Each structure stands twice: as C-alpha cells, then as structure tokens.
Structure 1
Amino acid sequence: MLGKVETLKAVLALLHLPHRGSATPEEAEAFRRLRAFLEARGEAVETLPFRGVRSYGPELLGISLLLALSPLSPIFPLLGALAFFLYFQGYRPWGFLLDRHPSQNLLAWKGEGKRALVLLAHVDTAKTFFLYHPKRVRGFRQSFLLNATLAFLSPLLALTPLKWPLGLYFLLQAGLLLHREVRAPYVEGGNDNASGVAVATALFLETKPPKGWRLGLALTGCEEVGALGAKALARHLPPGTLVLNLDNVGRGELFYAEGEGMLRYTPYHGPLLEAARRTPGARPLRYRLAYFDALPLAQRGFPTLTLIRLDGGVPPDWHWPTDTFARLDLNALAETLTYGQALLARVWGSPWDGVLA
C-alpha cells in the first residue's frame, strides 16, 4: 500500500496532461488512467457515461446576443434575462440540443451498510478568459453582479434610449466570448482540480469505513461547463448520501463552504457541515464566486460540504495558464487530506442516526 504522500503524488502524475478540457479526448485519457490506477489497487470501478459540452462559451454567447438585441424589441432581452437566470441557477432546458460530446464519471464503493458517504472531485479543466487575469480576478464577483443587474433590467431599459448602449455592451461581450472560443486554451489544471482528485482518491484509498457505512469515490467530468457530471451522478447515489466535495485544494488557506450560489444562495446542511464546524483547521465560507459540483446535489437535498483553499478571496491561479502542477503545494494537499480524515472520523463517531436514515 502506498503512503499518503506517495498516493497524492501518484494521482497527480496520472493527471499531468497538457489539459483535461471538459468532454475532450484528454479528459477521457485522464479517466482511463484513474480507472486503471484504482483497479490496480483492487477497487471495483463503475464508469457512468453521459454527454456534455466542451465549453460554456456558446451558451453565454447566445444569452449575450439575446440581450444585445434590446434595441429591436423588449422580447429579446426578456428571453435573455430568463436564460441568464436559469443558467446561473444550474438549469439548462436547451441542454438536449447542445450536449453532444461524450464524457463520464467514475464511481467506486467500499464497505457495507445503509449509510453512505461519497468523496467528490471533478477531473476536467476549463478554458481561460480575460476576466481571470491576476489583475482582474479579484473583481470577478463584481463583474458578474454588474452583468446580472444589466440582464435583469434589460427588458425595462429596452423601452428607453439606454437600449442602445445596453445592446452595444452585450454585443461586445458576445464578441469577447467568441474570441475565447476560437483562441483561448484550456488550462493545465494542477490546482483546479487535480488537487481535489488527488486528495479525494487518497482519502478513499487510505480509509476503511466502519461497520454500517459505505464509502464512495465519485470523480466527475464536465464540472467546468455547468456541473454536468454531478447532475448525471445524482441518480446513482443512494438517498441521503453525504457528499464531501474537494475543489482547488492545492494552495492557500483552507475553508469549508457552508453553502453556495452565484444568484440564489443554497445553504448546505447535514452531518458533514456540523462536523466541519467542530473540527479545527478550516474557516467557514459563504461561497458566491462561482459554483461547485456540490451545488446540484445540494439543490436535490443531499447533505453536502465543500473544501476549498483560497488566496485573497479567490482560488490561486484560477482558470489562468499559471495553474500548473509545478505551483502546487504538497503540504497543502497533505494537510487537506488530514483534515478530511478528521471530518470523516467525527461524522462516523457521532450519533446522527436520525439525520442519516
């Protein structure tokens, strides 16, 4: 059996590809390597295929174009505002038209019992964008709120002379998104999210669940394009499964998210959150910057918790070409693993039968 640090290094080596872009051949290769690694250690692994997209750009581009048509009719910005709200709440009623590229999740279980806890981490990486530049990224939330405000006001502004600058603003945004689709590369993704995959996998391999518990490992695809892997995973989890999500844990200060939501806030609940509040080593966080794979599961009622490391309020090297394996802090990974072990021990040692039933 490999030691903890050796396991972390071994998983990171598996994921060290030029990128692991959502629903790309490189993502598929990363999953192939991970499955072989787990099976070589005696774990039974199930592949759960689904279809997704390779970038969120076309969807946001389409929304921006609807909003850019404000000078023509209030109907277009009304549709754009509705689509904006749905997308950033995690709903894609148009997804069946776009989800054409194969992706997958890996799911492994160990132990026996009626109670279940799954360790969750996404494998894929994102394309970069100018908003993630180190000089701009700390204003990412403000940029999003500005867009949201303009989008939701656009049906009213379309009835005023302000419809012309509003339309020009969103037309420029559509142009920037088109440029991103054509020219922007996928990032290497050492921190986001090879770090989370390494910690989740090591925690799974190094942990023996107690009697009455099943411990799962769920590695997902297409998180960066709408948490599509987590949505596909939900129907494969037993009702009431506890979900511990690990995302961007390779550098910075450790936090546990108490909830998340770019628009409406979804609070987490359940034994993992209560355990985190009583386990030293991480600070609480209301995460409003983006979304995690945990969001669609929390929206479906699963008791959920996310661990993340931040530097100055944002994930280090977030969606920028500097997010490389060379910039990972192995001590941060090991400390996150130790904290995860303490969380599991506290959950398994606490009398929360009524919550978990």
Structure 2
Amino acid sequence: MEALEEVLELLKLPHRGSATALEAEAFRRLAGFLEARGLKPSEIPFRGVRSYGPELLALSLLLGLGFLSPLFPLAGALGFYLYFTGRRPWGRLLDRHPSRNLLAWKGEGTRALVLMAHVDTAKTYFLYHPKRVKGFRRSFLLNACLALLSPLLALTPLKWPLSLYFLLQAALLLHRELSAPYVKGGNDNASGVAVATALFLETDPPPGFRLGLALTGCEEVGALGAKALLPHLPEGTLVLNLDNVGRGELFYAEGEGMLRYVPYRGPLLEAARKTPGARPVRYRLAYFDTLPLAQRGFPTLTLVRLEGGVPPDWHWPTDTFARLDPKALKDTLAYARSLLKALVGLPSKLPCTPEGAGEGREEP
C-alpha cells in the first residue's frame, strides 16, 4: 500500500475535531506510522478550544447589545477585528483543552523547509451548505461591515434592527454548538496530511538542508497549532502548506486574509509561479495555517484545490473519504514534488509528473 493510502486509512475516524480525544487518536496513529519508518517525531503540546463557536457567539452578543449602550458594540467590533486578523488576546482564558503538533526532521544543515498540514476537523454550520457556501465571502463581508459600523449605528434608530440581527446570529451559533456534528474531514484535511507525509517520506534532503514535516492541531479554531509551532522553526524556514487537496482544480495561494490581506513572499511563491500545474489565487475565503507564519515574515505557500472558488464539501457532512479523487491526490503530490525540485533541487525517489498547467488567477 502506498504512503498516501496508508495515511488516509489511519485518519478514518468518526471525526478529528479540534482538541478532542479523536484528534489525539489521529496524532497517536500518525506518530506510530512515522516511528515505524525510523523517524523520531517530536510532540509539541499546547492547549486550544474545540470550536470557534463560543468566541463568535460572545462577539455576536456584544454586537447585539447596542440597544443598551454603544460600549457593547464597540467592544464587539474591536473583538471582531482582532479575531479575523488572527489575534485572540483572550486565548489564555479559553484555551483549556489539550492538543498537539507533530514535528519530524530529516537531514542536517542551516537551511530548512517544512511540509505542513493540519489534522483536525471542524463542526458544520448552515452557511457551509452546498447551496449557500458560494456566498460565504459575501456573508462575511456583510457581517464585517455591520460589525465595524455597529458602534456608530448604536447611536441611531438603526440600533434596533442591528441588535436583532446579531442576537439572532448568536442564537444560531448557540444551536450549532449544541447540535452540529464534526465532519469526517476526508478532503479537509486528511488529503493534505496524506500528501505532505508521502512527500516527506519519499524526499531525500541534500547535505546542508533540513526537511521537516509539521502536522498541526487546532487549525480550524484559529490556526492555534501553527502558532504553537512558531518557536520550533529556525529563522527563515520555508513552509509549504497543503490543505483541501483531495478534489477540484489545483491552485497555489499568493496570499490570504479575511479582513487584512497578507501577501506571501519568498522562494516558494517564485518557484510556484514557474512550475506548471497550478493556478494562482488570492485566498480571501478563510485562512490557512500559513497565516500566522506569513504575518511573522516566514516565506510560505499553500496548495489548495477549489471548485467554483471554494474547497469541495467544505465543512459539510459530505466531506468523506469516499468523495476523494485519487488522481487529484497523486497530481498534487506530483506538483509538490516538482515544486521542491524547482525550489532547491531536492532529490526525490519518484519522478515528477504534475498535471497540465492552467491559466489566470482567481480570488474566492
């Protein structure tokens, strides 16, 4: 059985919800898989949350209390901005559940390249329904405009419908927390874990170069695993992230950010622009684990597959292993292999056979 298939089999659990016991079981299986191949992955423990719902619920409540005082929506607007630019100053109060990353290295040297993918899965929500998900970006921008204007609107008669809007949103988020299941996460992101792990196993770093594999937890609740990984990465580490690569057309992100756009920079992006097989995209739909790294100056790149501007089966119960496209997985592996070869001439045990190149740029 190929490494791709073996890793996918390991991750076939009811779910791998952020900071849950099943996320821990997935990491236990992955650690055993790597150790059986002579590697010594180190575990990086940290604490996180099991869902982003309670935080968004609290922000919605603050924004919905504008009929009492404009100070509530002022606090809500500030919290909204911080959260959706990747900052959680309240995290130390909420991050109570154990999670972890796995980090394995091959080779020695002063330069480092890390292959990264997140292990955890998210709860579903009605906005991810296949008939609604293409409007996800528009819904977010509407919420952002209303949230950031709410302190001013709280001084006008519009505070009443606006308060009702955000209180209804809080009720929907509460319903999600009480009843919504975690998805199985075949595409998001067993696909990325499988490709990153297979590429790591087949690639031999040359002398003077370190190759790393970082499998992260709690990506779905604020890229908490990536933030916990930061102190363990040498300065200037190149980070190639794989997320949602199990079906659809292959893209490389040129940057990301839901509110503030953070452009990627560095050799990985330049290599991707010269490597046929993927199209560029300015990713504004959500965030990747690369966001906190790019914000801190690390040269990063994310590979993602999209259908109609969104990842297939994104956070919906249809995100199962049965819906993965084996050819998409193999073509992603081939493209990533070509990318590494173009980047630093890393020798691989397998030939590079990426799919054909596309044209143009998209912005979901």
- Which range, TM-score by smaller chain? over 0.9
1:349 Cα deviation from its structure 2 partner: 3.5
1:169 Cα deviation from its structure 2 partner: 0.1
**Which one of the candidate residues 91, 100, 108 is aligned to 2:96?**
100
Kept in 2, the 8 Å contact 1:275–1:347? The answer is: yes
Asked if 1:236 corresponds to 2:232, the answer is yes
C-alpha distance in 2 between matches for 1:54 and 1:349: 40
Asked if 1:179 corresponds to 2:172, the answer is no
Q: In the TM superposition, what whole-angstrom CA distance separates every residue of 1:78-134 from its partner, at most 9, and x where no partner exists?
A: 000000000001110000110000000000000111100000000000000000000
C-alpha distance in 2 between matches for 1:330 and 1:228: 30
Asked if 1:31 corresponds to 2:27, the answer is yes
**Residue number in structure 2 paired with 1:87:** 83
Q: In the TM superposition, what whole-angstrom CA distance separates every residue of 1:217-261 from its partner, at most 9, and x where no partner exists?
A: 000000000000000001100000000000000000000000000
- Give the unaligned 5+ runs of structure 2: 347-364
- Residue type at the aligned position of 2:302: T
Within-5 A mapping of 1:157-176: 157-176=153-172
Asked if 1:69 corresponds to 2:59, the answer is no
- Give the unaligned 5+ runs of structure 1: 351-357
1:211 Cα deviation from its structure 2 partner: 1.8
SS at match of 2:286: coil
- Residue type at the aligned position of 1:158: A
C-alpha distance in 2 between matches for 1:33 and 1:90: 30
SS at match of 1:114: strand
Q: In the TM superposition, what whole-angstrom CA distance separates every residue of 1:293-333 from its partner, at most 9, and x where no partner exists?
A: 00000001100000000001000000000000000001100
- RMSD across aligned positions (CA): 0.8
- Residue type at the aligned position of 1:20: R
Q: In the TM superposition, what whole-angstrom CA distance separates every residue of 1:147-206 from its partner, at most 9, and x where no partner exists?
A: 000001101100000000000000000000000000000000000000000000000000
**Residue number in structure 2 paired with 1:220:** 216
Kept in 2, the 8 Å contact 1:210–1:348? The answer is: no
**Residue number in structure 2 paired with 1:290:** 286
User: Normalization by structure 2: what TM-score?
Assistant: 0.94
C-alpha distance in 2 between matches for 1:124 and 1:148: 26
**Which one of the candidate residues 256, 266, 280 is aligned to 1:260?**
256
SS at match of 1:224: helix
- Residue type at the aligned position of 1:51: R
**Residue number in structure 1 paired with 2:353:** none
**Residue number in structure 2 paired with 1:119:** 115
SS at match of 1:339: helix
C-alpha distance in 2 between matches for 1:90 and 1:304: 16
C-alpha distance in 2 between matches for 1:329 and 1:210: 32
SS at match of 1:140: helix
- Residue type at the aligned position of 2:135: G
Within-5 A mapping of 1:125-140: 125-140=121-136
How many residues are paired up?
Answer: 346
SS at match of 1:197: helix
1:210 Cα deviation from its structure 2 partner: 1.4
C-alpha distance in 1 between matches for 2:38 and 2:333: 21
4+ runs of 1 displaced by more than 3 Å? Answer: none
Kept in 2, the 8 Å contact 1:254–1:307? The answer is: yes
C-alpha distance in 2 between matches for 1:71 and 1:25: 41
C-alpha distance in 2 between matches for 1:220 and 1:338: 23
- Residue type at the aligned position of 2:293: L
C-alpha distance in 2 between matches for 1:88 and 1:227: 11
- Residue type at the aligned position of 1:254: L
User: Normalization by structure 1: what TM-score?
Assistant: 0.96
**Residue number in structure 2 paired with 1:206:** 202
C-alpha distance in 2 between matches for 1:206 and 1:325: 23
SS at match of 2:122: coil
